[in-house]
């Protein structure tokens, strides 16, 4: 039984550069994976049935990205196979770490291999985009500078730092951030080279800090020790360090209300690293 990783991601920066006619927002963001995440296992079936044998509390099958991804690939490829899927879930839901999108990507990548569908990375990314804007970067499998709604990907190699990643204990629905009248929506577009040489920030962070006191408290505490930012639209926050020991030293000092973990930023996704060993 192969353990297929479903890693978390961080948005090292996130800038909102415009609002589209379809209601979505144009953005510029830098995705990096971390060596921490959920794990999925797949047991092939020959009757075409797709089952998730470890249901996720509060998520019905018709809304579950794991089931939806498997059905989408089966329909697109015409595969006669089915699968039993199990997941060891450790990433917080609604935390801005891309857990659901990562789960969907792992299903598409793993089953494309196990079912021998033969779809290219580009084809899988197109399928993944119908499930969520963050799914393609997990399929793509390398740190990336993303534009558009997040689907236009350019390879990037930011420093692989250590992070203390913490959840403030609140769920932040993405529409809450993007519907806020005070959200900056006109940050000038810049080249990746310019952005990499400028201080990183997140246009969503002021809204999250204003509307959620728990986020404000968490960022304020972490900023005492290291550069710290919101990832995505939240709620998770990360502090960056040059060494693992420095990150763990701060985690040891954390107050009881802070729930976090230490992970390393990696530019090659653990999912693609495993896939390269399978083929």
Query: Is pLDDT at 142 greater than 90 in this prediction?
Result: yes
* Torsion 72-73-75-80 (CA) sign: negative
User: HSE-up of 247 (CA within 13 Å, CB side)?
Assistant: 21
Tell me if 39 sits within 8 A of 87, measured CB to CB.
yes
Q: Of residues 9, 26, 38, 161, which has the active-site annotation?
A: 9
Cα(235)–Cα(96) distance, integer angstroms: 6
What is the pLDDT, as a whole number, of residue 113? Answer: 97
Domain extent for 189: 162-266
Percentage of the chain exceeding pLDDT 70? 100
184, 108: one domain: no
Asked whether residue 215 is assigned to any structural domain, the reply reads yes
What is the pLDDT, as a whole number, of residue 57? Answer: 85
- 138 pLDDT tier (thresholds 50, 70, 90): very high
Burial of 162 (0-12, 13-18, 19+ CB in 10 A): buried
Tell me if 104 sits within 8 A of 66, measured CB to CB.
yes
| Residues 64-74 pLDDT 10s | 999 999 999 99
CATH number of the domain bearing residue 33: 3.30.230.10
Q: Of residues 26, 134, 161, 203, which has the active-site annotation?
A: 134
| Residues 78-116 pLDDT 10s | 999 999 999 999 998 889 999 999 999 999 999 999 999
14, 40: one domain: yes
Cα(56)–Cα(64) distance, integer angstroms: 8
8, 131: one domain: yes
Q: Which of 52-61, 108-117, 219-228 shows the lowest mean pLDDT across its residues?
A: 52-61
Asked whether residue 271 is assigned to any structural domain, the reply reads no
Query: Is pLDDT at 218 greater than 90 in this prediction?
Result: yes
CA gyration radius, the chain: 19
| Catalytic status, residue 9 | yes
Query: Is pLDDT at 46 greater than 80 in this prediction?
Result: yes
Backbone angles phi, psi at 270, to 5 degrees: -55, -30
What does pTM read for this prediction?
0.95
Query: Is pLDDT at 120 greater than 90 in this prediction?
Result: yes
| Catalytic status, residue 134 | yes
What letter does residue 169 receive in the DSSP assignment? S
Backbone angles phi, psi at 163, to 5 degrees: -130, 140
What is the pLDDT, as a whole number, of residue 48? Answer: 97
129, 169: one domain: no
How high is the mean pLDDT of the chain? 96
What is the pLDDT, as a whole number, of residue 56? Answer: 87
What is the pLDDT, as a whole number, of residue 26? Answer: 95
What is the pLDDT, as a whole number, of residue 58? Answer: 84
Cα(116)–Cα(153) distance, integer angstroms: 26
| Residues 188-201 pLDDT 10s | 999 999 999 999 99
Question: Is residue 235 reached through a cis peptide bond, with omega within 30 degrees of 0 on the bond before it?
Answer: yes
Query: Is pLDDT at 151 greater than 90 in this prediction?
Result: no
Quick one: which of 97, 80, 120, 125 has its CA closest to 38? Answer: 97
- 62 pLDDT tier (thresholds 50, 70, 90): confident
Percentage of the chain exceeding pLDDT 90? 90
Domain final residue pick, 156, 178, 206: 156
232, 251: one domain: yes
Strand partners, 18: 26
Domain final residue pick, 125, 156, 187: 156
- 206 pLDDT tier (thresholds 50, 70, 90): very high
CA distances from 214 to 190, 265, 268 (A): 32, 25, 32
Burial of 197 (0-12, 13-18, 19+ CB in 10 A): exposed
Considering its fold, how many domains does the chain have in total? Answer: 2
């Amino acid at each position: 039984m192969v353990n297929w990783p479903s890693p978390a991601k961080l948005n090292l920066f996130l800038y909102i550069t415009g609002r589209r006619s379809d209601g979505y927002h144009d953005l510029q963001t830098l995705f990096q994976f971390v060596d921490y995440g959920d794990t999925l296992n797949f047991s092939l079936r020959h009757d075409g049935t797709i089952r998730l044998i470890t249901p996720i509390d509060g998520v019905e099958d018709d809304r579950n990205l794991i089931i939806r991804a498997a059905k989408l690939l089966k329909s697109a490829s015409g595969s006669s196979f089915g699968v039993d899927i199990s997941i060891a879930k450790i990433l917080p839901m609604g935390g801005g770490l891309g857990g659901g999108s990562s789960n969907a990507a792992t299903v598409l990548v793993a089953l494309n291999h196990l079912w021998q569908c033969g779809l290219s990375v580009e084809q899988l990314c197109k399928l993944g985009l119908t499930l969520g804007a963050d799914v393609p970067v997990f399929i793509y499998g390398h740190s990336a500078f993303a534009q558009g709604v997040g689907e236009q990907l350019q390879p990037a190699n930011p420093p692989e730092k250590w992070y203390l990643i913490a959840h403030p204990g609140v769920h932040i629905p993405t529409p809450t951030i993007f519907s806020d009248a005070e959200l900056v929506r006109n940050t000038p577009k810049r080249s990746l080279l310019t952005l990499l040489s400028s201080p990183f920030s997140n246009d969503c962070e002021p809204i999250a800090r204003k509307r959620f006191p728990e986020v404000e408290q968490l960022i304020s505490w972490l900023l005492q020790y290291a550069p710290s930012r919101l990832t995505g639209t939240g709620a998770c926050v990360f502090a960056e360090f040059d060494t693992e020991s420095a990150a763990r030293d701060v985690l040891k000092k954390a107050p009881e209300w802070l729930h976090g973990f230490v992970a390393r930023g990696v530019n090659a996704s653990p999912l693609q690293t495993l896939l390269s060993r399978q083929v």
